[in-house]
């Protein structure tokens, strides 16, 4: 079997193919002495600083670039490619046009730049494409990110003294996650809960810390401070919040009237004093019996101690009689809050008699004096009544025990009928005693117009005691002319005559 003759065209085509197949083998033999050094195993850099990644080569490896990649495999990212230089890129080669030194610089490193970087040698394949040939051991880059300046935020609305309000301190973009937070009110430490630290998709961390603060009246000049410490910081960072931004101290309101009470038709000045308030946003209006009148502010709000303010406003009112007892009101609107007010009453000290009306009222001091005087007079009257009662009681008791008694009209009898019918005759009265009455006939003076009355005794006289005295309160005297007095009774008589002198 004879061999087939060679086809000159086939032979011409096969020679280039054999040469191409032989090239990789040649490159492999040439790359056996190729070495790539990436000496930095780990590098730590602070965010914002510059990073240098070192890579050198030795020996021959054939044509092809040396590139820098972040990560290997399908998720890698090209950091530096000498064939695609970007003037605006943060990455530049340290030594230009070098065949052995492929070190690069990365400016302004950020936390997202963290990762493992590889220096990779590529070679051209038979088709002219860059093929992966060899890479370094990799450099792990850690970016220490400083925390941002702490931001302290407070409540959206103002709060009054003694209210407890929260304040929050936040910072972020830091790495590693170790962080320390302290709170101060002025220079005094405060207790707060441990901070909350969360990781972001950029592998950095954020922090949030909250503290409760009880506001005080004198906090208009106070501040709270959030102090943050981190390994990347040479000194702690601080965030501050002025408590005056959330503090509201309502004013104390006092209305004074000078003079008060006032004379008729004089001018009375009413002053409204607003003390210790914050902030200074305040408006004042005046009302007379609910109707607005015009006043004036004596000054703008003045800052006093502890950062608080005070303000004076005045209105003048003429003290006419028809305004006696009028109510003058100072109405205050502070920092857009509900109105608050205080009032004083206009008094007139000397209204005329014609001007007195039911509206007139006694001021408190005079009323107190009148009440005291009334009580004293009442007590004195009761004492006098009690004394008179005691005296009267003693007189009654004395009357019952005394041998004397009042005279009363005698009982009428048939014998004296004719005499008593005469209007000019004396009305006789007999003396009754406590002892048993004797049945002794009444002796009547013979004269029909006598001015005498007889007194009967129930006992015979002893010695000189021949008269029993009595007061006559029911004796009717005759209108007849005065007659001579009769002769005295006998010494042993039980009767006594009583002479009444006419006036």
Is the pLDDT assigned to residue 304 strictly greater than 50? yes
Residue 299 lies in a domain: yes
Sign of CA dihedral 418, 421, 427, 431: positive
Dig out the tokens for 398 from the structure.
């004395």
What confidence tier does 21 reach under pLDDT thresholds 50, 70, 90? very low
Helix (H) or strand (E) holding 111: none
Average model confidence (pLDDT) across the chain? 78
Instruction: State whether 120 and 196 are in the same domain.
Output: no
Range in 80-84, 251-255, 473-477 with the lowest mean pLDDT: 473-477
Q: What are phi and psi of 306, to 5 degrees?
A: 65, 15
Longest dimension (CA), the chain: 225
pTM of the model: 0.55
The reply to whether 40 and 138 lie within a common domain is: yes
Task: Tell me, yes or no, whether 12 lies in a domain.
Answer: no
- Kindly state whether residues 241 and 265 are assigned to the same domain: no
Rounded Cα distance between 419 and 447, Å, is 9
Q: In the prediction, which pLDDT does 240 show?
A: 97
- Is residue 20 situated within a structural domain? no
Q: Are 283 and 341 in contact (CB under 8 A)?
A: no
Kindly report the three-state secondary structure assignment for every residue of 237-269.
EEEEEEHHHCECECCEEEEEEECCCECCCCEEE
β-partners of residue 44 are 142
- Rounded to the nearest 10°, the torsion over CA 16, 18, 23, 25 is 180
For 86-158, strand residue ranges (E) read: 91-93, 104-106, 115-124, 130-135, 139-144, 151-153
- Give a yes or no: residue 1 inside a domain: no
Q: Distance (Å, rounded) from C-alpha 12 to C-alpha 14?
A: 6
Residue 117 sits in a domain whose CATH number is: 2.60.40.10
The answer to whether position 16 is within a domain reads no
Distances (CA, A) of 33 to 191, 196, 263, 276: 66, 55, 121, 88
Greatest mean pLDDT among 55-59, 437-441, 481-485, 486-490: 55-59
Q: Let me know whether 135 and 88 are in one domain.
A: yes
Element (H, E) at 28: helix 8-30
Q: Are 309 and 275 in contact (CB under 8 A)?
A: no
Asked whether 347 and 262 are in contact (CB, 8 A), the reply is yes
Helix (H, G, I), strand (E, B) or coil at 340: strand
Q: For the chain, how many structural domains are there in total?
A: 5
Q: Which residue has the higher pLDDT, 90 or 496?
A: 90
For residue 128, name the pLDDT band (cuts at 50, 70, 90). Answer: confident
Which domain range does residue 208 map to?
A: 151-245
- 136 with 38, same domain? yes
Is 229 in the same domain as 287?
A: no
Which pLDDT score, from 0 to 100, does residue 98 have? 87
Q: Please tell me whether residues 37 and 136 are part of one structural domain.
A: yes
Q: Are residues 33 and 138 in the same domain?
A: yes
pLDDT for residue 428:
45
Three-state secondary structure call for residue 50: coil
Show the tokens assigned to 181: 């937070």
For the chain, count helices (H), then strands (E). 3, 30
Least reliable range by pLDDT among 5-9, 390-394, 452-456, 493-497: 5-9
As a whole number of angstroms, the distance between CA 348 and CA 350 comes to 6
pLDDT bucket at 463, cuts 50 / 70 / 90? very low
225-254 CB burial, b ≥16 within 10 A, e <16: bbbbebeeeeeebebebebbebbbbbbebe
What per-residue confidence (pLDDT) applies to 179? 96
Q: φ and ψ at 140, to 5 degrees?
A: -85, 120
Amino acid 342: pLDDT: 96
DSSP lists the bridge partners of residue 499 as: none
Residues 137 and 157 in one domain: no
Q: Looking at residues 163-184, what average pLDDT do you find? A: 95
- CA nearest to 184, candidates 233, 229, 231, 241: 241
User: Is residue 18 in a domain?
Assistant: no
Predicted confidence band at 367 (pLDDT cuts at 50, 70, 90)? Answer: confident
What's the burial of 17, exposed, middle or buried (CB within 10 Å: 0-12/13-18/19+)? Answer: exposed
| Residue 45: closest CA among 235, 175, 190 | 175
- Domain boundary, last residue among 245, 267, 290: 245
- Quote the tokens at residue 427: 């009305």
Cα distance between residue 248 and residue 216, in whole Å: 10
Query: What CA–CA distance (Å, rounded) separates 35 from 60?
Result: 8
**Between the CA of residue 8 and those of 3, 12, 17, 20, 22, what are the distances in Å?**
15, 6, 15, 20, 22
Residues 348 and 256 in one domain: yes
Is 10 part of any domain?
A: no
pLDDT category at 290 given cuts 50, 70, 90 is very high
pLDDT tens, 191-207?
A: 998 999 999 888 889 99
- The CA-atom distances, in angstroms, between 216 and each of 128, 243, 246 are 79, 10, 11
Task: With respect to residue 229, please indicate whether it lies within any of the assigned structural domains.
Answer: yes
Are residues 87 and 161 located together in one domain of the fold?
no
* Lowest pLDDT segment from 110-124, 358-372, 376-390: 358-372
| DSSP H or E stretch at residue 15 | helix 8-30
The pLDDT-based confidence of 86 (bands split at 50, 70, 90) is confident
H-only helix segments in 307-443: 364-401, 417-420
Residue 23 DSSP symbol: H
Q: Are residues 292 and 306 in the same domain?
A: yes
């Amino acid at each position: 079997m004879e061999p087939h003759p060679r086809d000159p065209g086939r032979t011409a085509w096969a020679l280039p193919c054999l040469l191409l197949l032989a090239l990789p083998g040649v490159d492999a033999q040439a790359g056996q002495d190729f070495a790539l050094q990436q000496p930095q195993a780990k590098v730590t850099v602070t965010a914002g600083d510059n990073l240098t990644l070192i890579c050198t080569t030795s020996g021959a490896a054939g044509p092809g670039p040396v590139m820098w990649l972040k990560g290997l495999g399908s998720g890698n990212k090209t950091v530096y490619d000498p064939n695609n230089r970007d003037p605006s890129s943060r990455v530049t080669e340290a030594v230009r046009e070098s065949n052995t030194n492929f070190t690069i610089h990365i400016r302004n490193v950020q936390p997202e730049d963290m990762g493992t970087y590889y220096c990779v040698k590529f070679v051209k394949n038979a088709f002219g494409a860059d093929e992966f040939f060899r890479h370094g051991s990799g450099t792990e880059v850690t970016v220490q990110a400083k925390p941002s300046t702490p931001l302290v935020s407070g409540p959206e609305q103002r709060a009054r003294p003694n209210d407890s309000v929260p304040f929050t301190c936040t910072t972020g973009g830091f790495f590693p996650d170790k962080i320390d937070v302290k709170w101060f009110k002025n220079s005094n430490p405060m207790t707060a809960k441990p901070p909350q630290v969360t990781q972001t998709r950029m592998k950095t961390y954020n922090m949030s810390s909250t503290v409760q603060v009880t506001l005080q009246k004198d906090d208009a000049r106070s501040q709270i401070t959030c102090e943050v410490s981190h390994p990347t910081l040479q000194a702690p960072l601080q965030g501050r919040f002025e408590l005056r931004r959330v503090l509201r101290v309502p004013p104390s309101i006092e209305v004074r009237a000078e003079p008060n009470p006032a004379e008729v038709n004089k001018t009375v000045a009413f002053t409204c004093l607003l003390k210790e308030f914050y902030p200074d946003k305040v408006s004042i209006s005046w009302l007379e019996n609910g109707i607005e009148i015009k006043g004036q502010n004596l000054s703008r709000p003045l800052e006093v101690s502890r950062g608080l303010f005070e303000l004076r406003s005045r209105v003048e009112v003429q003290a006419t009689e028809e305004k006696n007892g009028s109510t003058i009101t100072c109405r205050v609107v502070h920092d857009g809050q509900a109105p608050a007010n205080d009032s004083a009453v206009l008094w007139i000290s000397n209204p005329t008699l014609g001007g007195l009306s039911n509206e007139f009222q006694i001021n408190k001091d005079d009323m107190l004096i009148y009440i005291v005087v009334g009580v004293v007079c009442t007590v004195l009257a009761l004492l006098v009544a009690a004394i008179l009662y005691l005296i009267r009681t003693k007189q009654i008791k004395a009357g019952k025990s005394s041998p004397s008694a009042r005279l009363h009209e005698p009982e009428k009898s048939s014998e004296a009928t004719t005499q008593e019918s005469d209007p000019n005759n004396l009305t006789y009265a007999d003396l009754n005693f406590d002892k048993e009455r004797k049945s002794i006939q009444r002796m009547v003076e013979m004269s029909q117009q006598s001015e005498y009355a007889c007194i009967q005794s129930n006992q015979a006289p002893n010695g000189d005691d021949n008269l029993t005295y009595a007061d006559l309160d029911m004796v009717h005297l005759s209108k007849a002319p005065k007659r001579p007095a009769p002769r005295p009774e006998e010494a042993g008589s039980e009767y006594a005559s009583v002479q009444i002198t006419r006036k």
